[in-house]
Structure 1
Amino acid sequence: MAEIVPRGYVFVVSFNFGDNESCIASSFIHEPANVWAFTYGPYRELEQSSILLNPERKYDGFGLEADRKYGKLKSRNISENWWFFRSFSKPESSPDGIVVRDDKGRPFSFESLMVIVLQCMGDKVNSVLDENKVRITMADALLVITTPSHWHSHEKGCVYRAMSKTNLNTSYVLFISNIEASAICCYHALKDKKQEELGISQFFVFWDDGVIDVALIDKKFDGSFRLTFLESKKITTVDDIFKDWLQQETKDTRLKDIIQDSGDAIYLRDVLHEKLKSSSYPLRVSLSPATVNILESCGKFTLKRDQILFNEEVVETIYSQYMRDGLQLIDRYLNNTEYKDTTTVFFVGRASVYPFIKNKMNQRAKSVITSTLPGFTFAKGSVLYGHYPYVLATSVIRFGEESRSSVLENRFTKKVTGREFLAAVAIDFGTTYSGYAYALSNDPSKIYANKPWTSGERLLSQKSPTCVLVNHNLQFDSFGYEAEKKYAKYLEADGNDDDADKFYLFRRFKMELHLRENVSVT
């Protein structure tokens, strides 16, 4: 199968934007599967999606460095004019366009911020390459931007425009969502499995902080695969569950604000994720003195050296609702007779590393395949997508009565003037011939082409000549075969071409765009 992206690059680099964490990954064209990360520290492939700007709105820090710097500024009460974005990948619409809000709630142009983020990540790549004395730069790379699944065309457009304002000079740019990238990484693992062991289709479960997606992976005869989203559901994040439980147990309404202001919120998000990977108990979590004072006064918690200790039973009690929300959704499809032959589950996302959730999944499915580096799955998949962009043949959503949800529509359905679209229409303006096709939103996999045009010479074609006929007022008259027939009729009428002089026929008009930016008939 021919490559979609022309060969002209030396390596693929992926900038992976997550709501909580981001990273950079890469591999060379001679070893596509050998994906490596641009680390931010020992054993740290992932970095917080945080960035700090000084009062002049210039870059000052990224990730954990930005978080620490901002914490020191706050402790000295000199942070007022600084801009700290705890998650730069959560933009929102406003009357002034797409913006992202800083820690104080102030709006900042998303496109302008992405110029800084992209330049920062590009500089990181170039500096690492230079340190290792590799004589290539970002100019030799194909860049893949991995975005959160809730991003739509507006957000991607901001990033694309931001690219042109950097000095990265990247030749090619591709976009893919983190869920699709994770699916590609899982699909790549199929090469090591026998098809009869896996079945025709495999479930793909993306269970991350705040959201769970269930999809099907279907292998196609040409080596690509089809990804069909079945359902998406928003769930409470791990650190929110923990904070809610602490507040409920202490009956202290100040606790949530103290956790947020003290920096415990970020700490809980990252530390709990690491701690919950472990099967060793008691679970120890260090918190700030302000939080510890409230917990001590409550008298319900076991504390040791400013650490709060939890046994396994308490941990499962805290996260019982978190597990129940996700497992109920998964059970709905594992127990559905429509998917009785689908017995393999690819399980990725933060939840895939928690032993108490993995055990529940193993009890439900015949075969559960997880990644050894779940946080890096989407980064590896996006790099592989850069090398093999044809591997993801289609990515669609199934809108059945049982699987339809408002969350799914909000996250995956484009909005047109505030309304859901009824159909997706593709128009092909060819140099010589043109055509169109469409699919209805309630059955996106069924593609309809136009009824065959006729030339009047017993020729049926689903394409029509790319020509248009306009009258003397420069108003549209007809298109394609109809335009050709009508113009020819005027020319042949009694040898009098006065009527023909009143019309203009444009053949292959698209070619004019190669010569002039603005095309008119005058």
Structure 2
Amino acid sequence: MASGILVGAIDFGTTYSGWAILFSHEFESEPTKGFVKHWYSGGALTTEKTPTVVLIKPDGKTLEAFGFDAENRYKELIELEEHENYYYFKKFKMKLHKQLGEKIDSGMILEDEMGRTLPAIDVFAMSIKFLVDDMHKVIKHRISGVIKKDEVHWVITVPAIWTDSAKQFMRKAGEQAGIAANKLSIALEPEAASIFCRHLSVDKRLDTTGVSIASFPAGTKYMILDAGGGTIDITVHEVQPSGAVKEIKAASGGGWGGTLIDEAFEKLLMDIVGKNAYNTFKQEKTEDWLDIWRDFEVKKRNVRPDKDNNVVMKVPVTLCQVYEKQSGQGLGKAIESSTYGKTIQFVDNKMKFKANVFKELFDTSLSKTIQHMEDIFRDVKVRQVKAILMVGGFSDFPMLQQKVISSFPSIDVIIPAEASSSIMRGALIFGHSPKSISERVLKYSYGVEILRPFIEGEHPQTKLVMKDVGPRCKDVFDKYVERNQIVKVGEAQVTEPFPMKKTKDKKGFHFLMGNLKRSKFKRCRLQYAPGN
């Protein structure tokens, strides 16, 4: 169990973020009882998470606002014509979704919505620090007394499909935000959601299957579909006799989340008005550009596969003006002459979309997700899966829900009522009970780079190096654990003695799941071998 009287969880999402807390005594009595911060948009909207939007002062070092407050404050600055030197970041988490081998380090640069740049580690750290500080402010008003920093153990959630370097980047950002290394854990998002739903009763669900993961007997397999704004994260768990779960299929997926819908809508707008007009509108009429995207965020959530109602969006007069100035014709004429002439109408400064236009915005995201799920189900290890657990903010969307249900009619689909906050709530339980996940499947092979006696005809000449002990082959990968190997949490997989250079001393070299611990052996280097 994590040290401290309180566990705080941060779900740092591509589109939305939030925090939650759970005291030790609450965990003992009711693990799902965590307090989740609610955020106010400034209007009538109240949500469990706030937009992952960061507004940074012109000095590049001071946070001006975060979330809904950042959106609203930026609009105020635009009205005052004081916004040009501020940094406005959104959906920047996707910068960390890279393939193995691509560079992710503290020197990485982020570009904001208007093309200005700052070090990525600073933007992430300022965001995490805001969420941590906000928790302390709220908790101060909820209880008598003050919770000290060393009494809180923080859990930051990350996509399971991220590379190890991306996960390490988030840990560094958390530490730069002021969280002590020994008070910080990293939890995988689908695992956190799975842990939460293992404690969830049937009545706290959106679906009507009557199936409860909490009541699954040992040996039951179920898939977790973690659909977020940026990534789709899929893994498969099996219930153990102890009640814990083990991973039987390593997490996989891709960047097919809700942001693909945004990209499709942005492309639609560019197809109509042209890239130049759109970018001019974004740069010069930023307040109106923000309004379009807030409106779209609401509209896309209400698209239903079984409804054919038109979708109406107000078009800012400034967009019409920018387009007319550049093209010499009205926006209505542009729509009529475009490929959308029969599906979009322009009337009274409003665009009226036929339902199928908005539904088609989901096509790429849905098709890639379903195709990947079908590929996973072909694996003999995941046959006889009893249920699909849908979590993450994108799982709240009816379009995705219906597509999953219709694509896999023989499998129960479970959707918790707290789909968007399931990850945070599960991270709280994980913080108090890290051994809720008993086994995982390795995504990569791990080992070290070593020298071996050079064998003529077997080793390439380019790898030949001469040493005191004779010819040696360099860059040999000495593999300790292999990709797809099942490893147990907290157990050393390998204990191997390594001689120090020119001495007879030996130091221990231990591989723990998710954590490689090694001695000060200077010629020993961890390498990944994803293809092995």
Is residue 145 of structure 1 aligned with residue 140 of structure 2?
A: no
Is residue 380 of structure 1 aligned with residue 425 of structure 2?
A: yes
Is residue 52 of structure 1 aligned with residue 66 of structure 2?
A: no
Quick one: structure 1 residues 151 and 286, their matched pair in 2 at CA, closer, same or farther if it must change by over 3 Å? Answer: farther
Structure having the higher Rg: 1
Quick one: structure 1 residues 220 and 115, their matched pair in 2 at CA, closer, same or farther if it must change by over 3 Å? Answer: same
Residues 397 and 444 in structure 1, CA contact (< 8 A), matched pair in contact too:
yes
TM-score by length of 2: 0.68
- In the alignment, the residues of structure 1 paired with residue 193 and residue 278 of structure 2 have an alpha-carbon distance, to the nearest angstrom, of 33
- In the alignment, the residues of structure 2 paired with residue 17 and residue 11 of structure 1 have an alpha-carbon distance, to the nearest angstrom, of 19
Which residue pairs with 2:332 in the alignment?
296
- In the alignment, the residues of structure 2 paired with residue 90 and residue 340 of structure 1 have an alpha-carbon distance, to the nearest angstrom, of 32
Deviation for aligned residue 1:394: 3.1
Which residue pairs with 1:100 in the alignment?
110
- In the alignment, the residues of structure 1 paired with residue 298 and residue 141 of structure 2 have an alpha-carbon distance, to the nearest angstrom, of 31
- Output the amino acid matched with 1:438: Y
Which residue pairs with 1:477 in the alignment?
504
Deviation for aligned residue 1:424: 4.3
Residues 104 and 166 in structure 2, CA contact (< 8 A), matched pair in contact too:
no
Tell me: higher relative CO, structure 1 or 2? Use CA pairs within 8 A at least 6 residues apart: 2
Equivalent positions of 1:265-284 (< 5 A) are 266-267=293-294, 270-276=297-303, 281-284=309-312
Which residue pairs with 1:325 in the alignment?
368
1:343 to 386, 405, 422: 386
Gaps of 5+ in 1: 399-412, 414-421, 426-435, 448-461, 481-509, 511-522
Deviation for aligned residue 1:390: 0.7
Deviation for aligned residue 1:190: 8.1
Deviations 1:148-194 (A, max 9, x none): 45655555555545555556679721112333323333343489447
* Matched position secondary structure for 1:373: coil
- In the alignment, the residues of structure 1 paired with residue 347 and residue 419 of structure 2 have an alpha-carbon distance, to the nearest angstrom, of 32
Quick one: structure 1 residues 304 and 251, their matched pair in 2 at CA, closer, same or farther if it must change by over 3 Å? Answer: closer
Deviation for aligned residue 1:16: 1.7
Residues 125 and 138 in structure 1, CA contact (< 8 A), matched pair in contact too:
no
197-206 vs 355-364, greater mean Cα deviation? 197-206
1:128 to 138, 148, 171: 138
Residues 184 and 384 in structure 1, CA contact (< 8 A), matched pair in contact too:
yes
Deviations 1:449-501 (A, max 9, x none): xxxxxxxxxxxxx979x898x8xxx9323649xxxxxxxxxxxxxxxxxxxxx
Is residue 181 of structure 1 aligned with residue 185 of structure 2?
A: no
Equivalent positions of 1:378-457 (< 5 A) are 378-396=423-441, 422-424=445-447, 438-441=480-483, 443-445=484-486
Residues 18 and 37 in structure 2, CA contact (< 8 A), matched pair in contact too:
yes
> Number of aligned pairs?
425
- In the alignment, the residues of structure 1 paired with residue 239 and residue 88 of structure 2 have an alpha-carbon distance, to the nearest angstrom, of 44
2:223 to 203, 217, 241: 203
Gaps of 5+ in 2: 97-102, 203-211, 284-288, 324-330, 449-477, 489-493, 508-518, 520-532
2:10 to 9, 12, 15: 15
1:70 to 69, 74, 99: 74
* Matched position secondary structure for 2:485: coil
- In the alignment, the residues of structure 2 paired with residue 121 and residue 11 of structure 1 have an alpha-carbon distance, to the nearest angstrom, of 15
161-170 vs 283-292, greater mean Cα deviation? 161-170
Deviation for aligned residue 1:389: 1.0
- Output the amino acid matched with 2:302: K
- In the alignment, the residues of structure 2 paired with residue 186 and residue 36 of structure 1 have an alpha-carbon distance, to the nearest angstrom, of 16
Which residue pairs with 1:89 in the alignment?
93
Residues 138 and 168 in structure 1, CA contact (< 8 A), matched pair in contact too:
no
Residues 20 and 425 in structure 2, CA contact (< 8 A), matched pair in contact too:
yes
- In the alignment, the residues of structure 1 paired with residue 239 and residue 53 of structure 2 have an alpha-carbon distance, to the nearest angstrom, of 38
TM-score by length of 1: 0.69
- In the alignment, the residues of structure 2 paired with residue 132 and residue 239 of structure 1 have an alpha-carbon distance, to the nearest angstrom, of 38
Deviations 1:414-470 (A, max 9, x none): xxxxxxxx4347xxxxxxxxxx992122x32279xxxxxxxxxxxxxx979x898x8
- In the alignment, the residues of structure 1 paired with residue 147 and residue 62 of structure 2 have an alpha-carbon distance, to the nearest angstrom, of 24
Residues 84 and 103 in structure 1, CA contact (< 8 A), matched pair in contact too:
yes
Residues 441 and 487 in structure 2, CA contact (< 8 A), matched pair in contact too:
no
Residues 216 and 239 in structure 2, CA contact (< 8 A), matched pair in contact too:
no
Equivalent positions of 1:303-318 (< 5 A) are 306-318=349-361
Which residue pairs with 2:313 in the alignment?
285
Deviation for aligned residue 1:388: 1.5
- In the alignment, the residues of structure 2 paired with residue 321 and residue 159 of structure 1 have an alpha-carbon distance, to the nearest angstrom, of 29
50-59 vs 16-25, greater mean Cα deviation? 50-59
25-34 vs 344-353, greater mean Cα deviation? 344-353
- Output the amino acid matched with 1:53: I
- In the alignment, the residues of structure 1 paired with residue 9 and residue 487 of structure 2 have an alpha-carbon distance, to the nearest angstrom, of 33
